[in-house]
Chain A
């Protein structure tokens, strides 16, 4: 059986910073824009080594999105960096018109997503961004699970043509995927093979799902864990093949249940293979100040919540 462990923890935003720096070396067309959060987004290395291709926009995110859209005309590949809240909700119309509808090759890179932003509280803890972005026609939405995968996703985005949203976070988090683990946009990653229940997870909650699987296994329950790092386009085939085997699913995300990963999985299942689904996510409420660990627990995102959902959904399976 596949086992995942970790020896090191790192924030996923640092994976973005490392990936962006790597891209700076690899690809002359890559430019980066940041709205006064260079340190928080870990963009300092790119800024230092490629100053001509780094654009400080100040606290003016709407302008940043327009600039990025414009920079594609003439062949640049712009990566914008700010917090997830300011990358989406604050600039939704700019993204919709100047980037998505205009089909511009802009990579919207968003840190500090979800409740694990922690102490800053609900003003900054966006839990609606996946929903907003996946609704935009032609927008690719990626939520990687750890440092290595965030780095790989960042690098992969430079070769992906079209607008994309990359969501990552602030807290230090286990690095449990190998640095050379293949990453393909749009291809879900089966982490653990199982037969009784499928756990679909994205972002930080992939690790929680892996911890839940271990405890379920100890109780004799075989859970399949699938890392759905690309929420759009969704890997429908992998979803269906797994649920056709396990006959039920749990979805896990650091996002509102409305509009998130669970929503996408439920839509696919209800259309092509109806099966019971339980959703682990934030249920129509705002977050609050606290430590990431406290908030994960209070808002029902921990391994124990995944285990509870798995037990519940298995009971709902048709005989």
Chain B
């Protein structure tokens, strides 16, 4: 049986009643980066690079942008729903969910371990609050999110659907099937985002299989393209608010979010080498020295 923690340690999560300011958001980001590095170090596996790069995006989403209820309910009617297509960056999602009250932050210590709800890649199978579909095999999340968005329309639910994909993931054909479908069907209650860090397992995306002009591709497929820097909190919030203002106009919206893989830990930054490698004890110490404990380690 998966381990379930019933009592939330409330001092280590952020209360949703007050909207955090920029300084608080940045503090949460730093804490979540610490969580990511510690989680991956503890089990000596997982994907720190993309997780660190997307920490600011996740914090902006869950602590500022989304109308969501940490008392999790699968159907999520009346809520904004987020889907993670590039499931390998589960550490950042799990840390964000725990820090926003979906489950106890102590459970982060079980990541990738036997009998845990925190599977290597996100899954619904162990009923982890916050996760609505399994992901990891790439290219599937955009289709799922569009399906959810169409159901929201049928249910006359005006909330939005968000989905994050990787840039390497754009090499999967299914992404472009979904791209065609989303535009053809005017799925304008959806905000997709691409983590545009330019790296994938075997090296820079441009060397492995170039995406060429990604912006032009999405525009040609009939989407509204919005761009921002994913590692500056102010830009992330402004970028997401801009994306929200672009919904409801008959076209789906996609953010090209420039990030740096490994952001926040100097020796991991900008390199594909930390896509799926865990730091050793020495490296952990070095990383934590760069990331201040702001709201308390799990």
Interface residues in chain A, defined as those with a beta carbon under 8 Å from any beta carbon in chain B: 31, 52-53, 55, 57-58, 60, 62-76, 78, 93-94, 96-98, 101-104
Q: Closest residue of chain A to B185, judged by CB?
A: A55
**How far, in whole Å, are A64 and B174 apart by their CA atoms in the complex?**
10
Q: Which of B137-145, B217-225, B275-283 contacts A (4 or more CB under 8 A)?
A: B137-145
**How far, in whole Å, are A63 and B185 apart by their CA atoms in the complex?**
13
**How far, in whole Å, are A298 and B72 apart by their CA atoms in the complex?**
56
Q: Closest residue of chain B to A104, judged by CB?
A: B133
Verify B147–A69 contact, CB threshold 8 A: yes
**With a CB–CB cut-off of 8 A, which chain A residues contact B181?**
57-58, 60, 63, 67
Interface residues of B in 233-251 (CB under 8 A from A): none
Verify A70–B146 contact, CB threshold 8 A: yes
Tell me how far the C-beta of B149 lies from the nearest C-beta in chain A, rounded to whole angstroms. Answer: 8
Sort A-B residue pairs by CB-CB distance and give the 3 closest, nearest first: A70-B147, A66-B143, A74-B151
Picked from A58, A65, A70, A74, the residue with its CB within 8 Å of the CB of B180 is A58
B65 at the interface (CB under 8 A from A): no
Q: Mark B114-157, 1 if CB is under 8 A from A, else 0.
A: 00000000011100000011111101111111111111101101
Chain B residue total in the interface (Cβ 8 A)? 39
Given contacts A62-B174, A70-B147, contact A94 B140 (CB under 8 A): yes
Given contacts A58-B181, A97-B137, contact A73 B174 (CB under 8 A): no
Picked from B74, B157, B174, the residue with its CB within 8 Å of the CB of A66 is B174
Dominant secondary structure of chain A at its interface with chain B: helix
Interface residues in chain B, defined as those with a beta carbon under 8 Å from any beta carbon in chain A: 74-77, 81, 123-125, 132-137, 139-152, 154-155, 157, 173-174, 177-178, 180-181, 184-185
Picked from B74, B135, B142, the residue with its CB within 8 Å of the CB of A97 is B135
Verify B81–A73 contact, CB threshold 8 A: yes
Q: Closest residue of chain B to A100, judged by CB?
A: B134
**With a CB–CB cut-off of 8 A, which chain B residues contact A74?**
75-77, 148, 151-152, 154-155, 157
Tell me how far the C-beta of A11 lies from the nearest C-beta in chain B, rounded to whole angstroms. Answer: 29
Tell me how far the C-beta of A53 lies from the nearest C-beta in chain B, rounded to whole angstroms. Answer: 7
Given contacts A67-B146, A68-B147, contact A102 B177 (CB under 8 A): no
Verify A102–B123 contact, CB threshold 8 A: yes
**How far, in whole Å, are A216 and B77 apart by their CA atoms in the complex?**
59
Query: Can you list 15 A-B pairs, Cβ within 8 angstroms, ordered by A?
Result: A31-B154, A62-B173, A63-B143, A67-B178, A70-B144, A71-B150, A72-B151, A73-B81, A74-B75, A75-B77, A93-B137, A94-B174, A97-B140, A98-B133, A102-B134
